[in-house]
Amino acid sequence: MAAASNNQPLLEVRSLRVEFPTRRGTLLAVDDVSFDIAPGEVLGVVGESGAGKSLTGNAIIGLLEPPGRVAGGEIRLEGRRIDNLPYEEMRKVRGARIGAIFQDPLTSLNPLYSVGRQLVETIQTHLPLSASEARTRAIELLKEVGIPGAEMRIDHYPHQFSGGMRQRVVIALALCAGPRLIVADEPTTALDVSIQAQIIALLKRLCREHGTAVMLVTHDMGVIAETADRVAVMYAGRIAEIGPVRDVVKHAKHPYTKGLMGSIPSLGVRSERLTQIDGAMPRLTEIPPGCAFNPRCGARGQRCLVERPDLMAAGTTRAACWLHDRGGVGPAVGKETVDA
Amino acid sequence: MLAFILRRLLQSIAVLLAVGVVAFSLFRYVGDPINAMVGQDTTMEERAELRTKLGLNDPAPVQFFHFIANAAQGKFGLSYRTSEPVGRLILERIPATLELSLCAAVFALFVGVPMGVYTGLYPKHWSSRLFQAVSLIGISLPTFLIGILLILVFAVWLRLLPSFGRGETVQIGWWTTNFLTWSGLKALILPSITLGLFQLTLLMRLVRSEMLEVMRTDYIKFARARGLTNRAINFGHALKNTLVPVITVTGLQLGALIAFAIVTETVFAWPGVGQLFIQSVQFSDIPVMAAYLMLIGLLFVLINLTVDLLYFVVDPRLRSQGGTARVAGH
């Protein structure tokens, strides 16, 4: 699987299941998801809202919001199983081995503490440094994330920073104890488009310099194409396709991925309309039997209605689609007519 | 910052003037002060003379000006009832009320806030549910009933604590204190609990709901993602963010504690200003009533001023805006 690395992967996720018990029965929000991240690699995770990408990220950092819970599978970091650690053990992993960046930099920082204090407390929680050593490290980090006048700005409060600057502070906070992996959940969604590219470039550069791997969760294919080494496309709680970013973007093998790529405008090609995928992703309560994508799929066959495909080799990527199985999709079935 | 304090001071003075109008109108409209001062056999001429001498024939604004000018110096005239200077009467009584209110406030803060934090952090735990249920009782039972129940249990049945009075007090200058004798301390317990119970439950419920809200915020989630200890998250990041509303309510309630100590002081025969006020009402002792009104107004204004200044200490967002923005509820 982990073609990018010959060594042991940094993160191994195996058959991860995340459940939400509700009054109307248990919802399976992440269903049998497996992937690896190699040291220093950037894995993009892309999908529509509700595809389970953020939940997968939260499960990895051990911060699923109740009643959500990991119902099955394993998560290993550097070979050590982390999905079943007691809270206190997992707390020591968070920040120190796995950092996290969330969507909204405006609300990620505590408004009542200076950024310096938040950096210093995080550093001192994980590293045996004195207050003044931690402060020195905090100033270096702020310089590294490109905050001008870091020596002075360290004592400022979050509301004195702009959105982009705050997300830089958040990145410094995620990196300050030297984690091996950063789970970045929509890190640029809340920012101005002009700032987004800067933040992504910064994140990419810092992680390369520190040798930190990144799991970049986003619904923005452009960000993924620019940043990621590999990409996993999620649909209805499962991975539809995973592979090197170039191959997935240019030669998608899963009909859903193809549709997704067709819906991105490209500068070179002039077209009247962008292609779109008819219908919408099913609710968790209404996932059809067989392949979850089958009601929207133009290439579906009898087999897609009854048998659920797992990831299988499809050229240079791996796709969960019977088109790439020796048995094929079976006799063709017309696409359901769904209003767009 | 300085401009803010000045503006606040001006507002405070305006508030006190408004209270002064109410206090002043007591003299003019609640009975005739001359009737209260003279005997039945005083002639009309003597009454008229007294009226002129006391300045009661002057135009109302002039009288009001004299009243405020005297009040500012702490002069409220003589009590109709005891013929003592009102200032001295109040000074004798105020330590009892302030000590009682202080103990009640400390009790409410140091029990109510931790209980609120606990029930906010573990809302589903059985003990949190118990606290919630008990707090409903505390919030709905009237103060006098709680006081009488406490007297029944601890003074009558168990005979552990005194049921009335301050016990032995120690005089320090003009201030008399309960804190230095054993019997004085024992006498404080029941009235403080009676007076503080309502504030305690109020604070507990306030802190609880604020904690529940803060624990859902992104910065708490991010603090967890940074691997901070629960202690740092709960008592550093979360509790501090609940402080602004807690300070507001504590401040207002501290004023209320002093003002509404009347009921508790009556139940426990506590020799404070509240009791003095009740006696004055019975005797239509207007100078005392007016002075009490002004005193409570002054205390409220001082407490609110302190609360406003505390906001600056807690919330850095106010400091940089020069105090133009008020704290909106979080």
In the predicted structure, residue A338 carries a pLDDT above the cut 80: no
Residue B63 and residue B8 share a domain: yes
Percent of chain B with pLDDT over 70: 95
The answer to whether A95 contacts B227, with C-beta atoms less than 8 Å apart, is: yes
Q: What residues of B are in contact with residue A61 (Cβ under 8 Å)?
A: 225
Domains annotated on chain A, with CATH = 11-228 (3.40.50.300)
Task: Please tell me the distance from the alpha carbon of residue B128 to that of residue B119, in angstroms, as a whole number.
Answer: 5
- Which chain B residue's Cα is nearest to A156? B316
Q: How long, in residues, is chain A?
A: 340
Burial group, residue A291, by CB count within 10 angstroms (0-12, 13-18, 19+): buried
Strand ranges for chain B from DSSP E? 170-172, 175-177
pLDDT for residue A336: 63
**DSSP summary character for residue B163:** S
Supply the range of the domain harboring residue B286.
87-320
pLDDT for residue B320: 63
In the predicted structure, residue A242 carries a pLDDT above the cut 50: yes
Q: Which of B328, B327, B298 is nearest to B310 (CA)?
A: B327
Residue B82 lies in a domain: no
Half-sphere exposure of A141 (CA within 13 A, CB side): 28
Residue B256 lies in a domain: yes
Task: Please tell me the distance from the alpha carbon of residue B237 to that of residue B229, in angstroms, as a whole number.
Answer: 11
Residue B306 and residue B205 share a domain: yes
Task: Please tell me the distance from the alpha carbon of residue B153 to that of residue B150, in angstroms, as a whole number.
Answer: 5
Residue B128 lies in a domain: yes
In the predicted structure, residue A140 carries a pLDDT above the cut 60: yes
Mean pLDDT of A124-137: 93
Domain boundary among B72, B97, B119: B72
Burial group, residue A22, by CB count within 10 angstroms (0-12, 13-18, 19+): exposed
Residue B95 and residue B48 share a domain: no
- Which chain A residue's Cα is nearest to B214? A110
The answer to whether A63 contacts B224, with C-beta atoms less than 8 Å apart, is: yes
pLDDT for residue B225: 92
Residue B165 and residue B64 share a domain: no
Q: What residues of B are in contact with residue A114 (Cβ under 8 Å)?
A: 316
Determine the distance in angstroms separating the CA of A172 from the nearest CA of chain B, rounded to an integer: 11
Task: Please tell me the distance from the alpha carbon of residue A123 to that of residue A128, in angstroms, as a whole number.
Answer: 8
Half-sphere exposure of A333 (CA within 13 A, CB side): 16
Residue B176 and residue B63 share a domain: no
- CA A253 to chain centroid, in Å, comes to 21
Number of domains comprising chain B:
2
pLDDT for residue A269: 62
Determine the distance in angstroms separating the CA of A187 from the nearest CA of chain B, rounded to an integer: 13
Burial group, residue A48, by CB count within 10 angstroms (0-12, 13-18, 19+): middle
A107 part of contact set with chain B, CB < 8 Å: yes
Mean pLDDT of A11-19: 92
Compute φ and ψ for A105, nearest 5 degrees.
-65, -20
Q: State pLDDT tens for residues B33-52.
A: 677 677 777 788 888 888 88
A108 part of contact set with chain B, CB < 8 Å: yes
pLDDT for residue B110: 92
The residues, ordered by sequence, that sit 6+ positions from B20 with a Cβ below 8 Å of its Cβ are B64, B67, B68, B71, B294, B297
Determine the distance in angstroms separating the CA of B224 from the nearest CA of chain A, rounded to an integer: 7
Determine the distance in angstroms separating the CA of B247 from the nearest CA of chain A, rounded to an integer: 15
The answer to whether B219 contacts A111, with C-beta atoms less than 8 Å apart, is: yes
The residue that leads in pLDDT, A171 or A266, is A171
Residue B328 lies in a domain: no
In the predicted structure, residue B171 carries a pLDDT above the cut 80: yes
Q: What residues of A are in contact with residue B218 (Cβ under 8 Å)?
A: 102, 104, 107-108
Compute φ and ψ for B171, nearest 5 degrees.
-95, 125
**Looking up tokens 């969507």, which residue turns up?**
A103
In the predicted structure, residue A340 carries a pLDDT above the cut 50: no
Residue B128 and residue B261 share a domain: yes
Residue B15 lies in a domain: yes
pLDDT for residue B328: 37
pLDDT for residue B119: 92
Residue B40 lies in a domain: yes
Residue B247 and residue B103 share a domain: yes
Residue of A61, A110, A114 with shortest CB distance to B223? A110
Q: State pLDDT tens for residues B281-324.
A: 888 788 888 899 898 899 889 988 888 888 888 888 877 654 44
Q: A280 and A287 in contact (C-beta within 8 Å)?
A: no
Rounded to a whole number of angstroms, the CA Rg of chain A reads 21
Q: B254 and B246 in contact (C-beta within 8 Å)?
A: no
- Which chain B residue's Cα is nearest to A103? B218
In the predicted structure, residue A194 carries a pLDDT above the cut 50: yes
Residue of A92, A113, A160 with shortest CB distance to B227? A92
In the predicted structure, residue B53 carries a pLDDT above the cut 80: no
pLDDT for residue B182: 84
In the predicted structure, residue A10 carries a pLDDT above the cut 70: yes
Percent of chain A with pLDDT over 90: 39
Residue B174 lies in a domain: yes
The answer to whether A91 contacts B225, with C-beta atoms less than 8 Å apart, is: no
Determine the distance in angstroms separating the CA of B315 from the nearest CA of chain A, rounded to an integer: 6
Provide the CATH number for the domain around residue B250. Answer: 1.10.3720.10
Residue of B224, B232, B314 with shortest CB distance to A112? B314
Task: Please tell me the distance from the alpha carbon of residue B66 to that of residue A330, in angstroms, as a whole number.
Answer: 103
Residue B67 and residue B98 share a domain: no
A77, A102, A112: best to mutate for the B interface, most B CBs within 10 A = A112
Q: What is the mean pLDDT of chain B?
A: 85
- Which chain B residue's Cα is nearest to A96? B227
Residue B155 lies in a domain: yes
A111 part of contact set with chain B, CB < 8 Å: yes
Residue B255 and residue B135 share a domain: yes
pLDDT for residue A283: 83
In the predicted structure, residue A4 carries a pLDDT above the cut 60: no
Burial group, residue A39, by CB count within 10 angstroms (0-12, 13-18, 19+): middle
In the predicted structure, residue A270 carries a pLDDT above the cut 70: no
Half-sphere exposure of B169 (CA within 13 A, CB side): 19
pLDDT for residue A268: 65
For residue A149 the two structure tokens come to 């006048």
Domain boundary among B72, B100, B129: B72
Q: State pLDDT tens for residues B101-158.
A: 999 999 999 999 999 999 999 988 898 899 888 888 888 888 888 889 999 999 889 8
Task: Please tell me the distance from the alpha carbon of residue B16 to that of residue B19, in angstroms, as a whole number.
Answer: 5
Residue B150 and residue B117 share a domain: yes
Residue of A102, A126, A159 with shortest CB distance to B222? A102
- CA B292 to chain centroid, in Å, comes to 12
The residue that leads in pLDDT, B38 or A137, is A137
A317 part of contact set with chain B, CB < 8 Å: no
**Looking up tokens 């007691």, which residue turns up?**
A86
Mean pLDDT of A252-260: 87
Band of pLDDT at residue B99, cut at 50, 70 and 90 = very high
In the predicted structure, residue A335 carries a pLDDT above the cut 80: no
Q: Is the dihedral of CA B226, B216, B307, B13 positive or negative?
A: positive
- Which chain A residue's Cα is nearest to B238? A110
DSSP H helices, A145-244, are 150-153, 163-175, 193-210, 221-227
Residue B207 and residue B177 share a domain: yes
Domain boundary among B45, B72, B99: B72
The residue that leads in pLDDT, B211 or A334, is B211
A180 part of contact set with chain B, CB < 8 Å: no
Band of pLDDT at residue A272, cut at 50, 70 and 90 = low
In the predicted structure, residue B93 carries a pLDDT above the cut 80: yes
A86 part of contact set with chain B, CB < 8 Å: no
Residue B61 and residue B122 share a domain: no
Residue of A96, A110, A159 with shortest CB distance to B227? A96
A104 part of contact set with chain B, CB < 8 Å: yes
Q: What residues of A are in contact with residue B225 (Cβ under 8 Å)?
A: 61, 63, 94-95, 99-100, 102, 174
pLDDT for residue A117: 94
